[in-house]
Amino acid sequence: MGRRDWSCLPDELLTKIGQYVSGHFDMIRFRSVCRRWRYSLPLPHTNNWHLQLQITLLKEPKPDYRIRIPLPFYESYDPELEAESSPYHTVASSIVKTTVCIINQSSLLKLEETQQEGKFRIINPISDIPIKEFPKVLNLLDYPIMEITRGYICKTSHSNVLKAVVLPEYDDKVCMVLVLCDHGRLLLWRNGDEHMKEISNKFRYDDIAVYKGHFMAIDRWGTVSFVDSSSLKVIQYTPPVLNGGKKKNLVVCSEQLYVADRYFDRARTSQNPYGKWDPSVVDFKIYKLDEDWGRWIEIASLNDKILFLGKVLNFFVPIKELSGCNKGNCIYFKGDEFIGSKSHGVSVFDLADRRIGSILSFPGCSDMLCPPSWFTAN
């Protein structure tokens, strides 16, 4: 059979094929075949929709070094204190699209869009630290790219904003944004709203996600709730995770909902270079939601998969997709006790032997998060 001229495919067939091309890089590759293919599929919009939002946050407590002398005859008045009595302040934020992908079957990277069309920042998918070893100019179309997951980053000058999720999930026309702030507060923005609105609730939340087209939030007891954007209320969706740890992460994979439960050793702490005293992670448990029976089932092994718990995105990756990686059944996560070291704050937990440590203590595991030699050779 002779070679076929793919540029001569019927227009209706090109349109049909284009309906199944969803990834940003796949769309660019499709359009680069020839002129007919390029005109059959519109150019993907990368950052024309960037959202600029105002977020109301709790003020960080300021140390008070003033000497207070009790006055027995009258009460002192400080107008400066009265002006600062509000516990909230408003900051500007920007919602930015980000993509986690595997490049050339060897490196797991996160590509964060910039204000320049078609330009990306390359960062570590776990620690969110920019990777500086790459050349200044890198054409990602020169390498095979497999998209793992997509998400959004809430860029702000304050560290109070922990995470943001968007609906619709994979559409340039953003209608709603749910933001998780420190102290477990939830804020919601809907298209047309002037400001974000707080979802009043007595519970404090550890993580948020989009599951089956809805906003979901998990509280510190392991109860997942559905966030109703109309009434600004949370409605319980699952029972709590019994005998749970101290921090929960939501993971959505193949229309299934998982919870990664993190256990801390409160008696053993370490001081990282930034001067924060944090408890150390000593154990993990993974649960999968049984929708039929409305219960959590503990997962003893991930088999040939790796679970990545990032600052913004949580996702599974089969080890067969990463050449040179032959160790599955592990959890990669951000461990503050290793910040400042060559591990960039990335830790690994082995579900088989319950061992935990810096990624550097697991031979070969750090290679997938480092720039490969063929990137930096030139």
What CATH number does residue 339 fall under? 2.120.10
Q: pTM here?
A: 0.79
Number of domains in the chain: 2
Quick one: average pLDDT of 337-352? 71
Q: Residue 374: helix, strand or coil by DSSP? A: helix
Q: Are residues 23 and 98 in the same domain?
A: no
Q: Are residues 30 and 119 in the same domain?
A: no
In a domain, 17, yes or no: yes
Q: Are residues 55 and 14 in the same domain?
A: no
Distance (Å, whole) CA 292 – CA 310:
29
Q: How far is CA 56 from CA 53, 125, 185, 189, 263, in A?
A: 10, 27, 11, 12, 31
Q: Are residues 217 and 272 in the same domain?
A: yes
Q: Are residues 240 and 364 in the same domain?
A: yes
Lowest mean pLDDT among 69-83, 159-173, 209-223, 315-329: 69-83
Q: How far is CA 254 from CA 146, 235, 316, in A?
A: 16, 23, 10
In a domain, 76, yes or no: no
Distance (Å, whole) CA 292 – CA 336:
38
Q: Are residues 339 and 360 in the same domain?
A: yes
Q: What are the tens digits of pLDDT across the range 162-206?
A: 789 988 866 656 688 999 987 888 989 888 887 788 887 778 899
Structure-block tokens of residue 305: 């998969």
Distance (Å, whole) CA 189 – CA 152:
14
Q: Are residues 148 and 280 in the same domain?
A: yes
Q: Are residues 111 and 151 in the same domain?
A: yes
Q: Are residues 299 and 157 in the same domain?
A: yes
Q: Are residues 237 and 247 in the same domain?
A: yes
Start-to-end CA span in the chain (Å): 40
In a domain, 262, yes or no: yes
In a domain, 70, yes or no: no
Q: Are residues 29 and 153 in the same domain?
A: no
Q: What are the tens digits of pLDDT across the range 41-82?
A: 776 554 444 566 666 555 554 444 344 434 343 344 444 444
Distance (Å, whole) CA 12 – CA 154:
40
Q: How far is CA 27 from CA 13, 37, 318, in A?
A: 16, 10, 24
Could you tell me the residue range of the domain that residue 122 belongs to?
Answer: 45-59+85-376
In a domain, 72, yes or no: no
Q: Is the pLDDT of residue 283 over 70?
A: yes
